[in-house]
Structure 1
């Protein structure tokens, strides 16, 4: 029995407000399904959709893609497309009702001699309840989850993430394999036996191909994060995982420019445009160093004429205008936010930091996730 393990497609996400990036997410999902044609079934371990309130266009596009596959599709609710407080208010129910996919939310399915048990995203505050439910899975089942687990080494999410389960929640689980979602890093494993397929597309600039400008030259800091899925081959009481990588659809580049003096910026951008200004590219530039003059990010962004999207963020320190956080007005505002908003203050502070850095899309996403969580708790 071969099961294609796909995760975190986040369909409908318009990264940086670019319709081209929204299309990239759909194309990555469609390509994954094409490459999974030889599998007996496909399981999506959460966040098939980017929101519990997708547009009609997003749902129709998804149904078109699913209608072309002919594969048996099973989905688990993720924290983006499912709420444990309102389990019936998920677009995944629509897919289930029309027969496009079967939603497994603390339920099992017989795939033909192999049992699949799906566990929807659950906050860590419900760890004991979560453990009881997954322990009900038949021994030897494939367990499909949408959680991070304490101790997992990944870029995102952090240990403080609401959907990071303690390892003890999986104590006694007798699954032949744990197919996991929520962590976007492809190929991450945990000692409890979990394997994360990762997101199908680049999520944020932490995963970009990254280059550093130091001492007058560009040096590669990291390659773009790999993206793909797994074919889980289950035979009796054993399972093996075969990696399937997806080709990058678009060049996503982060350039970190470390300046010793202002005039270096001209040379850095001239060479950057020659090397990284490709048609359709997404380019994020961050400027660092102690620089007194005005670097005018918009002027430097204009050096890229062929890229789809360019964002230049000035992170340089200007001594004459430096503001200390300790005892400053900034600290007072942050303290006031925490007093008035409680837990919501962290979301507001993070959103403001992203907005200050020019990443409005990330700021908006943080605020939307907090507001949706507030509605669910109401």
Structure 2
């Protein structure tokens, strides 16, 4: 029998709502998982990606993570991990640094055996590159096998990765897929294999109303998956439906019915009633003891003029145009990075550069040109290299997104997910802060890079 903790999406370093207290909360949630692992004497802690919220975590977050990993090491508990989309860098991964320090093991296509379980790893792979994946893994002699992967897998919400394809094409029979990326916990079976998400360890958006936790998994005659709760920063959700004639006093009355002490307070106003000034409600909540308060007024404003206006979906328009142009795989990589919801504005330029450099280093020169033959007499036909895209072109679409209400709570490379029912959650204030927060955190004085640790 082998018992492990399965966790992920810890997002250490996330300054949610631009709050240093919230940033500390994310580290403390990871520390709580480590404490539970030591107390329960598990065989390993398995992390399914997005250990950090950013590819360049600040020094205090790095030091805090190192301290937690040393506690695991002192207890003789291995830390097995893969790389998620938030923390991925081009020239080296933080988990590789921790591995060199003897504090972690980065999972890959070779088995890492703990007890009677062989663990394998599959880092996050952009959707545009998955068709080229070969699910080839080295053989093992253990009683059980588990694949740890980061992505949005079927049959869960917002899925863009076919789980059946992974299991069918893999040359290892897995007993379980231990996943990360979806912040909501879930369990299912696909082709007689357990597929499970532990959810995030802290609430990364206001749409994550359920409590946070992790999975405790036992491999014996069968696979037993149990969820354990974490005690995290309290979130108080106050939903107020106003009637005609009601306004701010009614909202404040509803707030007084809750204990707001040190909580993140999320107020959602619906119905009719009088106009409500969010700033005044937020200030009142903080005066009553809240750490942070955010108010979203979802009521529709009636205009006297009846104007019929319709808008085309810009993503649909882009996809149709791309289909006409028949772009190369490299161009599709660039397009995905520029329009992705999961890449902050500040990281678009470096992400595009990394992806192009990777293709050039791999010798994939044909991927850098369109699959359609260029017309004779053009610069491409003459063998000249086209000029790279300008910074403005790289930042353009995401810069436009930054002026909106934010992104969906569960991040995905698939732009179609923006058309789902999660559009409501896209309007939450904290999701908008996830983009701007990434940019702000990269400008701090104590920021660290992989090069500084080499």
Counterpart residue number, 1:14: 15
Counterpart residue number, 2:412: none
C-alpha deviation, 1:279, in angstroms:
1.2
Pair 1:241 & 2:225 matched? yes
Residues 12, 27 of structure 2: 8 Å contact kept = yes
What's the C-alpha RMSD, in Å, of the aligned pairs?
3.3
C-alpha deviation, 1:176, in angstroms:
2.1
Counterpart residue number, 2:213: 228
Residues 53, 91 of structure 1: 8 Å contact kept = no
Change (3 A) 1:121 1:18: same
Residues 290, 318 of structure 1: 8 Å contact kept = no
C-alpha deviation, 1:76, in angstroms:
0.9
Counterpart residue number, 1:256: 239
User: Could you say which structure has the larger radius of gyration?
Assistant: 2
Counterpart residue number, 1:296: 277
Q: Give the Cα separation in 1 of the matches to 2:202 and 2:146.
A: 25
C-alpha deviation, 1:294, in angstroms:
3.7
Pair 1:146 & 2:150 matched? yes
Q: Give the Cα separation in 2 of the matches to 1:95 and 1:130.
A: 27
Q: Give the Cα separation in 2 of the matches to 1:166 and 1:234.
A: 21
Counterpart residue number, 2:80: 74
Secondary structure (helix, strand or coil) at the match of 2:31 reads helix
Q: Size of the alignment, in residue pairs?
A: 336
Residues 108, 115 of structure 1: 8 Å contact kept = yes
C-alpha deviation, 1:29, in angstroms:
1.1
Q: Which moved more, 1:182-191 or 1:15-24?
A: 182-191
C-alpha deviation, 1:277, in angstroms:
4.7
Pair 1:353 & 2:404 matched? yes
Q: Give the Cα separation in 2 of the matches to 1:266 and 1:113.
A: 60
Q: Give the Cα separation in 1 of the matches to 2:433 and 2:201.
A: 22
Residues 259, 290 of structure 1: 8 Å contact kept = yes
Relative to total residues, which structure has the larger strand share, 1 or 2? 1
Counterpart residue number, 1:167: 164
C-alpha deviation, 1:280, in angstroms:
0.7
Q: Give the Cα separation in 1 of the matches to 2:261 and 2:46.
A: 35
- Runs of at least 5 residues in structure 1 that lack an aligned partner in the other structure: 209-224, 371-378
C-alpha deviation, 1:90, in angstroms:
2.0
Counterpart residue number, 2:447: none
Counterpart residue number, 1:279: 261
Counterpart residue number, 1:265: 247
Counterpart residue number, 1:309: 292
C-alpha deviation, 1:244, in angstroms:
2.1
C-alpha deviation, 1:288, in angstroms:
2.4
Secondary structure (helix, strand or coil) at the match of 2:219 reads strand
Residues 124, 149 of structure 2: 8 Å contact kept = yes
C-alpha deviation, 1:255, in angstroms:
2.4
Q: Give the Cα separation in 1 of the matches to 2:15 and 2:266.
A: 17
Normalised by the size of structure 1, how large is the TM-score?
A: 0.77
Pair 1:365 & 2:434 matched? yes
Change (3 A) 1:2 1:367: same
- Runs of at least 5 residues in structure 2 that lack an aligned partner in the other structure: 323-333, 342-397, 408-425, 440-454
Secondary structure (helix, strand or coil) at the match of 2:186 reads coil
Equivalent residues in 2 for 1:109-188, closer than 5 Å: 109-133=112-136, 135-136=137-138, 138=140, 140-152=144-156, 154=157, 158-159=158-159, 164-171=161-168, 173=170, 174-188=173-187
Counterpart residue number, 1:35: 36
Residues 119, 144 of structure 1: 8 Å contact kept = yes
Change (3 A) 1:267 1:108: same
Residues 279, 308 of structure 1: 8 Å contact kept = yes
Residues 128, 169 of structure 1: 8 Å contact kept = no
Secondary structure (helix, strand or coil) at the match of 1:206 reads coil
Change (3 A) 1:334 1:171: closer
